[in-house]
Amino acid sequence: MNLQVKFFEINSSIGNFSETFLHKFSLLCIPIIETIFKSSLNIGIPLPIVKDIQLANGSELTILEKSEQIRIDANLEYI
């Protein structure tokens, strides 16, 4: 399995992230994220259950073709 994780800033409402921060953040997080994704492809991803909160019908998982990214648009409902 060829899995490659990259961090980059697309849009930020709290300010721009420095390249140094993104590099150090990726050094810390990439091994963890790769392990989680590789194991989740084998056993699935368990979704946490939070009392009175559920995913709405409008939630979508989108695979972006050109950039080979996965985007999760989740709408949470409080019931």
Q: Could you tell me the two tokens for 62?
A: 């989108």
13 in any annotated domain: no
Question: According to the model, what pLDDT value does residue 28 have?
Answer: 84
Residue of 63, 8, 61, 13 whose CA lies nearest to 30: 8
Give 47's contacts (C-beta < 8 A, 6+ positions apart). Answer: 55
Domain around 60: 19-78
Residue 14 lies in a domain: no
Q: How many domains does the chain have?
A: 1
Alpha carbon distance 4, 67 (integer Å): 12
- The predicted model scores a pTM of 0.38
Compute, in degrees rounded to 10, the torsion defined by CA atoms 17, 20, 9, 34.
-130
Q: Is the pLDDT of residue 77 over 60?
A: yes
- The tokens describing 50, both together, are 């939070």
- On whether residue 2 sits in a domain, the answer given is no
Per-residue pLDDT reduced to its tens digit, 8-48 = 777 777 888 888 888 888 888 888 877 777 776 666 666 66
The answer to the question of residue 8 being in a domain is no
Answer whether residue 38 is part of any domain.
Answer: yes
